[in-house]
């Protein structure tokens, strides 16, 4: 009788375990056209299917398994299958596959640059996803521009969001500018591809929650490390005072980065390279080529993670440039740090609840107590990932340029 009861209990447990995963999987919205996998369900589980019939091992870098990933199993249909052992956090996640020991992307998904490579990506729909959805509202443009950087001797790229009301014919209407930086290992695509910054702005504007402004997203690293003898562009040295000088030749036209064989190195916090690029090269280029309100009161800087650290460094080192500061999972400001900066108009600090939320909220309180226009925000249920930063942008934007 006891064995019988044990057996029944085991069956029941098994049934319950299986019943926990809802079989309402749909393709991730970040899949390549026509690709059904990976799929996600309403609880946040992700299911993967990979075609590699003769492989011995296929592991997905996402999931809660012992290795921090999800080991796939080969089915009778020849495909490798697997489901995460638990739900993933809402929002965007980078990932890749390891096929027989080599790292490859999942051919099912679009590609997203992070961790210094184009990775695969998956989206777990969030309860509040509406604010970054493509909706029935006017859409701004995102424009690729190449600006000459004398300090790094190359053309560099920025993507510039201009709001829907940015009409070329409205000659005398100018806009404030937010300079918005990505994190380590990411690039100038991050904020609009992973972050949907353009859609967040479109929706905020349509909802009347902000007055339109421009958002500039550029590549924030200057210290990739060059391999000696690596091919650099040969060409005439720039003439003094020339605005666009010297050939960028052998560089990568996609990023403007010079050809280098060395992998991108870590962020050197003491490297002023990006500070010069941003303050002395990009800002003047934007002010010359877009309809901007070209003064400190109408210029903000914010960034995520390493971009936040850059923001912290640069806003303090160049206090004449920006009057609104935003750190997104990028640390805090203290009143002591700001005391010598004239007219700080607004400070935003944010992070995910799985990060150091208490520190963020305390920092905001300290700043308010010291008389600053400060806001602290903690994104519920997210970690050091892009849904945190989409929400931070949503919370920060309405405090800018008021």
136 is a site residue for a second copy (CB under 8 A): yes
Q: Which of 110, 211, 287, 366 binds a second copy (CB under 8 A)?
A: 110
Q: How far is the CB of 103 from a second copy (least distance, A)?
A: 6
Question: SS3 string of 251-292?
Answer: CCCCCCCCCCCCCCCCCCCCCCHHHHHHHHHHHHHHHHHCCE
Give the Cα separation of 392 and 114 in Å (integer): 19
> Of 242-250, 309-317, 335-343, 364-372, which segment contacts a second copy by CB under 8 A?
242-250
Give the Cα separation of 328 and 360 in Å (integer): 10
Give the Cα separation of 177 and 324 in Å (integer): 10
Near a second copy in 271-330, by CB under 8 A: 290-291
> Of 26-34, 312-320, 327-335, 388-396, which segment contacts a second copy by CB under 8 A?
26-34
CA dihedral of residues 249, 250, 255, 261 (deg, nearest 10): -160
CA distance to 45, 90, 268, 279, 325, per residue, from 37 (Å)? 13, 18, 38, 43, 40
For 290, the token pair is 């877009």
Cβ contacts of 134 within 8 Å, gap of 6 or more? 199
Kindly tell me which of 174 and 373 has the beta carbon lying closer to a second copy.
Answer: 174
237 is a site residue for a second copy (CB under 8 A): no
Kindly tell me which of 115 and 353 has the beta carbon lying closer to a second copy.
Answer: 115
Number of residues that bind a second copy (CB under 8 A): 79
Kindly tell me which of 138 and 398 has the beta carbon lying closer to a second copy.
Answer: 138
Q: Which of 53, 208, 241, 371 binds a second copy (CB under 8 A)?
A: 53
Q: How far is the CB of 356 from a second copy (least distance, A)?
A: 31
Q: How far is the CB of 160 from a second copy (least distance, A)?
A: 8
CA distance to 59, 107, 155, per residue, from 122 (Å)? 15, 12, 32
27 is a site residue for a second copy (CB under 8 A): yes
Quote the distance between the C-alpha of residue 182 and its chain's center: 5
> Of 8-16, 250-258, 267-275, 362-370, which segment contacts a second copy by CB under 8 A?
250-258
> What is the CB-side half-sphere exposure of residue 335 using CA atoms within 13 A?
11
- Reduced to 3 states (helix: H, G, I; strand: E, B; else coil), residue 368 is helix
Q: How far is the CB of 376 from a second copy (least distance, A)?
A: 30
Q: How far is the CB of 349 from a second copy (least distance, A)?
A: 28
Near a second copy in 138-177, by CB under 8 A: 138-139, 141-146, 155, 168-169, 171
CA distance to 1, 8, 10, 16, 316, per residue, from 4 (Å)? 5, 6, 10, 18, 72
116 is a site residue for a second copy (CB under 8 A): yes
> Of 61-69, 193-201, 275-283, 378-386, which segment contacts a second copy by CB under 8 A?
193-201
């Amino acid at each position: 009788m006891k064995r019988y009861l044990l057996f029944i209990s085991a069956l029941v447990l098994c049934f319950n375990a299986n019943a926990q995963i809802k079989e309402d999987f749909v393709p991730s919205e970040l899949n390549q056209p026509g690709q059904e996998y990976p799929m996600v369900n309403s609880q946040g589980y992700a299911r993967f299917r990979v075609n590699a019939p003769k492989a011995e091992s296929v592991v997905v870098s996402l999931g809660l398994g012992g290795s921090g990933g999800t080991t796939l199993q080969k089915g009778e249909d020849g495909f490798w299958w697997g489901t995460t052992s638990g739900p993933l956090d809402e929002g965007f996640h980078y990932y890749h596959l390891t096929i027989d020991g080599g790292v490859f992307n999942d051919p099912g998904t679009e590609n997203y640059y992070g961790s210094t490579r184009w990775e695969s990506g998956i989206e777990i729909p969030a309860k509040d996803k509406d604010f970054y959805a493509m909706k029935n509202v006017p859409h701004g443009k995102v424009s690729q521009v190449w600006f000459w950087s004398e300090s790094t001797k190359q053309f560099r790229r920025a993507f510039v969001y201009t709001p829907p009301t940015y009409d070329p014919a409205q000659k005398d209407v100018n806009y404030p500018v937010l300079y918005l930086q990505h994190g380590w290992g990411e690039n100038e695509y991050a904020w609009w591809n992973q972050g949907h910054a353009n859609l967040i702005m479109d929706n905020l504007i349509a909802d009347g929650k902000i007055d339109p402004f421009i958002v500039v997203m550029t590549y924030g690293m200057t210290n990739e490390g060059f391999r000696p003898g690596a091919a650099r562009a040969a060409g005439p040295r720039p003439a003094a005072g020339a605005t666009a000088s010297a050939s960028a030749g052998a560089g990568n036209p996609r990023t403007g980065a010079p050809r280098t064989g060395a992998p991108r190195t870590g962020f050197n916090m003491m490297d002023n390279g990006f500070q010069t690029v941003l303050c002395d090269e990009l800002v003047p280029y934007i002010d010359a080529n877009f309809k901007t309100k070209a003064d400190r009161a109408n210029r903000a800087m914010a960034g995520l993670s390493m971009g936040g650290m850059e923001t912290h460094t640069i806003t303090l080192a160049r206090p004449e440039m920006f009057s609104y500061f935003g750190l997104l999972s990028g640390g805090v400001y203290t009143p002591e740090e700001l005391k010598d900066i004239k007219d700080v108009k607004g400070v935003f600090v944010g992070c995910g609840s799985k990060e150091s939320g208490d520190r963020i909220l305390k920092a905001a309180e300290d700043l308010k107590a010291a008389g600053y226009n400060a806001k602290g925000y903690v994104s519920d249920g997210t970690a050091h990932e892009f849904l945190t930063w989409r929400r931070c942008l949503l919370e920060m934007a309405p405090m800018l340029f008021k």
